[in-house]
Amino acid sequence: MVYALLVLLAVGFVSKISLRHFGLIEDASTHFYGSFQNALYAKTLYQVAKACLSRYEMQVCDNQDFNEGIYKGGYELFDDKDSYRVEIWVLHQNPRNLHIIRSFLVKKIKKVQNATP
């Protein structure tokens, strides 16, 4: 009877450890995937800001927010001496554990002289 109880406890302990281990691996992989998607989304927002500035003036393009499903993001432009500073933020909700993965990026865009309204 005692041996059966010890075997039962050992099996329960091993199953608890292995389930937790595999859950942590899945959490890490979904977090990596979310961070990678945030980087791609931030790159796209940078290209949107750059395209907007090449076509319009600063007052039209200075701030935009986007909400596409589990991704939220946006950018804000600041006027520097010879360039524009772009601050990009992206929020992504991990569907596995509902954690929010945040990304923040600052880039520069050289000023274009022939912008039309």
pLDDT, tens digit, 9 for 90 and up, residues 89-101: 999 887 777 788 8
Q: Residue 83 has what pLDDT?
A: 87
Q: Looking at the predicted structure, is the pLDDT value of residue 32 above 90?
A: no
Following DSSP, what letter does each residue of 69-112 receive, concatenated? Answer: TTEEEEEEEEE-SSEEEEEEEEEEE-TTT-PEEEEEEEEEEE--
Q: Does 13 score more than 90 pLDDT?
A: no
The model's confidence at residue 113, banded by pLDDT at 50, 70 and 90, is low
**β-strand partners of 88:** 75, 105
Q: What is the pLDDT of residue 117?
A: 54
